[in-house]
Amino acid sequence: MSKRKVLAFLLLTFIAKFSLGQQMDPSENWQTYSTFDGIEVSFKLDNCTGVQGINGNEVKLVLRFSNTSQSTKTISWRPQWYRDGSCVNCQNINSNEFDFSLELQPGEVKEGSACNKDKRFYMFSHWKNVVQGMDHKRLTNFEFINTEVTENL
């Protein structure tokens, strides 16, 4: 194969990979999603153990925010959720329901858990045990859009 064909193939593969988005591979260990102007955002899977009923059956993707800077900062964002590769909230992403913000002091870390009800710190992933009538879809990716970090004086 000629060099030109190889380069064209590699370029198309690269473009396809990044234009289609990458599937996340969440685990029970913290993974870095991104860093926004000194605010590191990490995620992991968690479930609320020891709880009866529906909450004990939920697996959530929980978030951790770490301010690695020397100043107080506020991060604001809107999360997009993808289930089985399809965006489930893109049609109404501009609703105030998806408008989140969080203030962090220098060096402060705030993290969610599956038992926490603060929607800034988690996204529903899937049901641990699926019974008839439940959705089988899983959270396959997420994105923070319209993300801003401001330094508080």
CATH number at 63 reads 2.60.40
- Domain membership of residue 17 (yes or no) is no
Strand partners, 100: 77
* Residue 138: inside a domain: yes
Q: Which domain holds residue 60?
A: 29-151
Q: Would you list the DSSP string of 99-122?
A: -EEEEE-TT-EEE--TT---GGGE
Does the residue 13 lie in any domain?
A: no
44 inside domain: yes
- Whether 93 is in a domain gets the answer yes
As a whole number of angstroms, the distance between CA 105 and CA 66 comes to 9
Number of domains in the chain: 1
In a domain, 10, yes or no: no
Q: How would you write the pLDDT of the chain (153 residues) with one tens digit per residue?
A: 555 544 444 433 333 333 334 455 667 899 999 999 999 999 999 988 766 555 667 899 999 999 999 999 999 999 999 999 999 999 999 989 999 999 999 999 999 998 888 999 999 999 888 778 777 889 999 999 999 999 998
Token pair recorded at residue 52:
């009866």
Neighbours of 139 (CB within 10 A): 20
Query: Is position 21 within any domain?
Result: no
pTM for the structure as a whole: 0.79
